[in-house]
Structure 1
Amino acid sequence: MTIAIVGAGLGGLALARVLHVHGMDAVVYEREASRDARGQGGMLDIHSGQRALREAGLIDEFYAIARGEGQDMRLLEPDGTLLLQEDTPDDAPLARPEVDRADLRDLLLDSLPDGTVRWGHAFVHAADGALHFADGGSAPYDLLVGADGANSRVRPLLTDARPAHLGHHVVEVGIPDIDRTHPDLAAMVGRGTYWVLGGGISLAAQRNGDGRVRIGLGFYNTPEDWFATSGIPFDDPAAAKARLIDLLPGWHPRFTALIEACDEMVVPRSITALPVGLTWPSRPDVTLIGDAAHLMPPVGEGANMALLDGALLGLALAAHPDDFAAAVREYEREMFERSTAAARMSADLHTLLASPDAARKMLAFFQPDGD
């Protein structure tokens, strides 16, 4: 029977890989023209998702590309007060290492047989056991797996739920080759994540494997049209950076210096999420994984959940190769419980980050016993 996966993200590729390990074929249809068609984002904190990589037979290869030092963290308040500094010993276990999303995706892609991923296939809809693509082509399926992200086109086959705005907007900027171009700022940020929280605003600077520091400025408790009213001229990077600094009144100059040092990449992102606890009546021929199934606030769970979804659905299908309906039911029961717990935790953490004293609350979250 034919397994069709829509979306060549981490979840879809993990599913295809685990099926391949168990001698089962799948086809992944991806709208992008090639693996290099666009950037894949920054670093990922992989913790529970390591189980998926073990099931995929790729855990050693993962450890070879993971950055243990990426577990370092510094937490500060806007006035410059350092609340927490965690530096990872060189011999520390890789409990939550960082990895470049593009490197992890390449690892999964390279583990699949040639032809598994069909590039340039933009899924439009499914009907009568066939996928239909934007170019007029079609392909048959017995099981359709939607791994096509937040704005999934497969999701409407199972539920009317749509992502809702969370009152949270992020502007992404960055400093390339920071060790060479701004060694003082490189030393300040450190090897991992540098967080400044307070007053409904967050600054998260993260070291990437290519030497770039990606910086996300988060503005919480904002209306859905905030980008249109914020006064940030996204078509003028220099003016946009100046406006971002204006939106940080009272912040220590060392933080605004990070913004001043950024290059001309200024990317706006509106943050949305699906309802916590989303479920749907099981169907034997369609299911969802990753953000298509349980889009959450971006607090470190999404990629891990997607990897686990793909691997666990693959294991269920391998256990029931002649009964896709049973495999889907088994997978969805576990996924609904697991993703609901993760989504609830993510929503609580998102609420914490939006609070005026977020840094102190985050410190208590990391050190509940006050150590």
Structure 2
Amino acid sequence: MTTTPRIAIVGAGPGGLLCARVLQRHGLEVAVYDTDSGVHARDAGGTLDLKADSGQIALEDAGLLAQFRTLARPEGQAKTSLDQHGTVLSAFVPEEQDEAANEIDRGQLRALLAEHLTAGTVRWGHKLHTATPLPDGTHRLEFTNGTVSEADLLIGADGAWSRVRPLLTDATPHYSGISFLDARFDDVDLRHPRVAKLVGTGHMFATDNAGRALIGQRNSNGHVRGYVAMRTDLDWCDQAGLDLEDRTATQRFLRTEFAGWSDDLMPFITDGDGGFVNRPIHVLPAPLEWEHRPGVTLLGDAAHVMSPWGGFGVNLAMLDGAELARAVAEEPTVDDAIVRYETVMLPRAGEYAVGANQAMERFFATKDFDPADIPDPAAEHRQSIVAATEYRRLNPLAAGSAWTLRFRTPGGEKRSTLVFDTTTGTLDGIPVENLLRTGDDLKFTARITTPFKLKITCTAAIDGDTMTGTAKAAMMAIAFTGTRGAAS
């Protein structure tokens, strides 16, 4: 970036916070605005899986992958599928080293990201009222608390009902035809042993192939989140004359809806701690695109809210945030960065959204049971690991990328290991300086200690998994090549 832009992110969910963290690691200032009064102001929801090829790559860029792993639950990847009679249709237990889709509570993830931002980055209690484009491509932001600010880059990370999205598209979320009733089970192993046994360490999915399902997911600290899910009208409560605050009436209604289901599964309806929360599933049209507009873009649910099937929403939001931040740091202008980001994000999000929405439709379809409809988690995990490797190949300076460099010195070939972080890197463990990438061109300064101490300036061109360049010192220049992968 040739000038330092004023960057505003609206929304302090995982995508917005991740984007802010990576921007700050690149030395860029950013303000994040959120309606909540604080990071723990509301229930952030249940658990989610961060995938190796998206959410975990984003955490690498944020320098927080190790911290994530201290909180994550690899055992939470376990999944069991049942029919309405309680018959086990399939079961998956992850292998000991399987971390392809580690689980973490949403609240824990949000707190982790917020805690690693510069103090004061998030302006809590700021609900966006209007965002107005100005003639020079900037935006004026007015908040309901009276705060007014301007931004050279406005990033809408404010979820399904984004107030930033109308600057780019008239598209709005529509009801999918599926509603979830959210229930909570506390101290589950002691107080709700039947629920604990059904859910195990991970997830349980039960369906009757008639548009109804019971879903349980293990959270941390002895909690289970349960979902009573139905294909139904958006106003089903009004049609039934039902007040969800009346727990007894709600349970009676649900027992009728789930008549014929095994009594072993009924604790998901009858035994929750507290009342039910209605969560109708809304999705944006998919695939969704828009024409580029100066100084503004979207990430996460603001750009591509989709069904929760497959768990792609948060993963894509975080990857969106990391890629947008990298583009802002590396491109000469804000709009160059937006174009680069949207060129990748929009088609990728469209593909995942179509797939996730179709998968939910299949799960809640009224049809005969087909074993082929049950996902294969082991295959999905293998695919995620392969996709993560391919992502790093296509993004050669992404965090965690390692290269073997071969220098053609007068005394023969010398090998070194170059490892990239988000904003810098190391050569044989010694930090490099002045790291700069422009397109496929790379430049950095390094200090070597063998065969003698020397400061070198390296310039190189990257082509996929190969690098070709020259290292210049005060009195000499030598050629080098590089290949992706650790030094042998």
Name the TM-score class by shorter chain.
Answer: over 0.9
Which moved further from structure 2: 63-72 or 119-128?
A: 119-128
Instruction: Flag the structure with higher strand content.
Output: 2
1:17 to 21, 25, 45: 21
Q: Secondary structure at the match of 1:97?
A: strand
* Structure 1 residue 80 displacement after superposition: 1.6
* Structure 1 residue 284 displacement after superposition: 2.3
* Structure 1 residue 130 displacement after superposition: 1.5
CA distance 1:230–1:70, shift in 2 (3 Å) = farther
- Cα deviations across residues 233-271 of structure 1 (Å, max 9, x unaligned)? 302123212221221010000111332211223100111
Alignment pair present for 1:42 and 2:46: yes
Tell me, in whole angstroms, the C-alpha distance in 1 between the residues paired with 2:194 and 2:376: 27
| Counterpart position of 2:226 | 215
Tell me, in whole angstroms, the C-alpha distance in 2 between the residues paired with 1:191 and 1:178: 11
Instruction: Flag the structure with higher helix content.
Output: 1
Tell me, in whole angstroms, the C-alpha distance in 2 between the residues paired with 1:277 and 1:18: 27
Gaps of 5+ in 2: 380-488
Amino acid at match of 1:235: E
- Cα deviations across residues 105-163 of structure 1 (Å, max 9, x unaligned)? 11100110001001111101122331100122201111100000000000000100000
| Counterpart position of 2:476 | none
Tell me, in whole angstroms, the C-alpha distance in 2 between the residues paired with 1:367 and 1:30: 35
Q: Secondary structure at the match of 1:365?
A: coil
Q: Secondary structure at the match of 1:99?
A: strand
Tell me, in whole angstroms, the C-alpha distance in 2 between the residues paired with 1:241 and 1:366: 33
Alignment pair present for 1:82 and 2:92: no
RCO higher in structure (CA 8 A, sep ≥6) = 1
Tell me, in whole angstroms, the C-alpha distance in 2 between the residues paired with 1:187 and 1:216: 16
Alignment pair present for 1:319 and 2:330: yes
| Counterpart position of 1:4 | 8
Which moved further from structure 2: 350-359 or 338-347?
A: 350-359
Identity of aligned residues (%): 40
Tell me, in whole angstroms, the C-alpha distance in 2 between the residues paired with 1:156 and 1:181: 47
Amino acid at match of 1:100: D
2:166 to 153, 156, 159: 156
Residue pair 1:11, 1:290 contacting (<8 A) in 2 also = yes
Alignment pair present for 1:101 and 2:97: no
CA distance 1:242–1:197, shift in 2 (3 Å) = same
| Counterpart position of 1:66 | 72
Amino acid at match of 1:37: A
2:130 to 113, 125, 129: 125
Alignment pair present for 1:291 and 2:301: yes
Q: Secondary structure at the match of 1:348?
A: helix
Aligned pairs, number: 366
2:203 to 193, 209, 219: 193
| Counterpart position of 2:247 | 237
Question: TM-score scaled to structure 1, two decimals?
Answer: 0.95
2:59 to 47, 50, 53: 53
Question: TM-score scaled to structure 2, two decimals?
Answer: 0.73
2:185 to 175, 179, 202: 175
CA distance 1:190–1:231, shift in 2 (3 Å) = farther
2:263 to 253, 259, 270: 253
Tell me, in whole angstroms, the C-alpha distance in 1 between the residues paired with 2:378 and 2:41: 44
Residue pair 2:255, 2:269 contacting (<8 A) in 1 also = yes
| Counterpart position of 1:332 | 342
Q: Secondary structure at the match of 1:262?
A: coil
Q: Secondary structure at the match of 2:353?
A: helix
| Counterpart position of 2:290 | 280
Alignment pair present for 1:309 and 2:320: yes
* Structure 1 residue 311 displacement after superposition: 0.6
Larger Rg: 1 or 2?
2
Residue pair 1:70, 1:97 contacting (<8 A) in 2 also = yes
* Structure 1 residue 273 displacement after superposition: 0.5
Alignment pair present for 1:138 and 2:148: yes
CA distance 1:125–1:279, shift in 2 (3 Å) = same
Residue pair 1:238, 1:264 contacting (<8 A) in 2 also = no
- Cα deviations across residues 182-201 of structure 1 (Å, max 9, x unaligned)? 22431222110011012111
CA distance 1:224–1:362, shift in 2 (3 Å) = farther
Q: Secondary structure at the match of 1:156?
A: helix
CA distance 1:75–1:361, shift in 2 (3 Å) = same
* Structure 1 residue 364 displacement after superposition: 4.1
| Counterpart position of 2:121 | 116
Tell me, in whole angstroms, the C-alpha distance in 1 between the residues paired with 2:291 and 2:15: 21
What is the root-mean-square deviation of aligned Cα atoms in Å? 1.7
| Counterpart position of 1:348 | 358
* Structure 1 residue 308 displacement after superposition: 0.7
Q: Secondary structure at the match of 1:46?
A: strand
Tell me, in whole angstroms, the C-alpha distance in 2 between the residues paired with 1:74 and 1:192: 8
| Counterpart position of 1:269 | 279
Q: Secondary structure at the match of 1:5?
A: strand
* Structure 1 residue 87 displacement after superposition: 1.9
| Counterpart position of 1:228 | 238
Amino acid at match of 1:268: N
- Cα deviations across residues 199-256 of structure 1 (Å, max 9, x unaligned)? 1111110111021111111111x22322321454302123212221221010000111
Tell me, in whole angstroms, the C-alpha distance in 2 between the residues paired with 1:358 and 1:118: 51
- Cα deviations across residues 287-324 of structure 1 (Å, max 9, x unaligned)? 0000000010111111111101101100111111x400
* Structure 1 residue 88 displacement after superposition: 2.4
Tell me, in whole angstroms, the C-alpha distance in 2 between the residues paired with 1:100 and 1:9: 13
Residue pair 2:32, 2:123 contacting (<8 A) in 1 also = yes
Tell me, in whole angstroms, the C-alpha distance in 1 between the residues paired with 2:106 and 2:346: 25
Q: Secondary structure at the match of 2:265?
A: helix
Which moved further from structure 2: 79-88 or 102-111?
A: 79-88
